[in-house]
C-alpha cells in the first residue's frame, strides 16, 4: 500500500479494503450522485474548467449561481496565466489545472464557507498495476461522497471525473458526454496510444467537501 497517499489528515480511511472490488459488488448509491454534468462545446479544450466545476458540484451540490460564479473565477485564472484562446485550442495542462483548483478552493471558502479538499490519490511517479489502481479507486469511492479528477488519454485526450468503479465499468461525470468506460478497454500508464483508454495514476486527484471544517 506504499503508493497511496495517507488520507488520515482529511478524515478519509487510511487503508483500502479490496474485497468489494474483488467480489464485484456495486458501489453504495449516494443521494444526488446522478446529477447531470455541465457540458462544454464540442470543439473547445475547456474540459479542465468543466471538470473542476463538475467535481466540486458533485461533492458540494452547488447552486446554479454558485457554479456560474466559480466559472468566472476559473476563466480569470486561465486568462491571466495561460490565455483563454490557447486553452480553448490546446486544452489544460497539469499546472493550469492545479492553479484553477487552488483558486476554486480559496473562492468557495471565502465566498460561501465551503472547505473543498483536493489531494493526489497516489504518491508522485507511482507505477501501479491496473488491478491495484482500479481497486484503490473503487474502495475510495465506495461509501462517501468523493469524486476523482483523472487525466484520460489514448482514444480521448481529456480531463474527466470518476464517480464509481466496479470490476467491469468506470462511471464518469463528464463534460464531453462520456458516461462510462469498460475496464477491459482501459490501461493504467503515463504513456498512451490511440487504441485504448489510458488513466494516469500520477494525475489522479480526490475531491470532497470537508464538512467538519466549514466556516
pTM: 0.82
What confidence score (pLDDT) does residue 30 get?
Answer: 46
Tell me the backbone φ, ψ of residue 53, rounded to 5 degrees: -60, -45
pLDDT one-digit tens code per residue, 86-126: 898 888 999 999 999 999 999 999 999 999 999 999 988 88
Which residues fall within 8 angstroms of residue 43, CB to CB, at 6 or more apart? none
Q: How far apart are CA 61 and CA 83, in angstroms?
A: 29
Alpha-carbon distance values, 182 to 33, 72, 97 (Å) = 20, 34, 26
Segment 162-199, tens digit of pLDDT: 999 999 999 999 988 889 999 999 999 888 788 899 99
Report the run of H or E that residue 47 belongs to, with start and end: helix 47-60
pLDDT single digits (tens) 13-27: 444 444 544 444 454
Which tens digit of pLDDT belongs to each residue from 36-87?
888 776 657 789 999 999 999 999 999 999 999 999 999 999 999 889 888 9
pLDDT score for 193:
82
What are phi and psi for residue 98, nearest 5 degrees? -65, -40
Class of domain 43-210: alpha beta
Domain parsing of the chain, residue ranges: 43-210
The pLDDT assigned to 161 comes to 96
CB 158, CB 45: distance < 8 Å:
no
Amino acid at each position: 500500500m506504499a503508493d497511496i497517499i495517507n488520507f488520515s489528515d482529511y478524515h478519509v480511511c487510511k487503508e483500502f479494503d479490496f474485497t468489494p472490488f474483488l467480489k464485484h459488488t456495486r458501489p453504495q448509491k449516494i443521494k444526488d450522485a446522478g446529477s447531470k454534468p455541465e457540458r462544454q462545446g464540442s470543439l473547445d479544450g475547456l474540459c479542465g474548467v468543466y471538470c473542476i466545476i463538475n467535481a466540486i458540484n458533485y461533492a458540494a451540490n452547488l447552486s446554479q449561481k454558485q457554479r456560474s460564479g466559480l466559472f468566472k473565477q476559473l476563466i480569470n485564472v486561465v486568462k491571466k496565466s495561460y490565455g483563454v484562446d490557447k486553452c480553448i485550442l490546446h486544452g489544460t495542462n497539469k499546472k493550469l489545472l492545479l492553479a484553477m483548483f487552488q483558486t476554486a478552493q480559496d473562492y468557495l471558502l471565502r465566498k460561501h464557507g465551503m472547505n473543498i479538499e483536493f489531494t493526489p490519490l497516489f504518491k508522485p511517479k507511482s507505477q501501479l498495476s491496473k488491478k491495484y489502481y482500479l481497486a484503490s479507486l473503487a474502495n475510495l469511492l465506495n461509501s462517501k461522497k468523493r469524486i476523482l479528477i483523472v487525466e484520460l488519454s489514448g482514444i480521448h485526450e481529456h480531463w474527466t471525473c470518476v464517480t464509481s468503479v466496479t470490476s467491469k465499468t468506470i462511471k464518469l461525470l463528464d463534460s464531453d458526454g462520456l458516461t462510462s468506460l469498460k475496464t477491459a478497454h482501459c490501461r493504467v500508464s503515463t504513456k498512451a496510444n490511440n487504441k485504448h483508454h489510458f488513466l494516469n495514476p500520477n494525475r489522479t486527484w480526490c475531491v470532497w467537501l470537508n464538512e467538519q471544517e466549514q466556516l
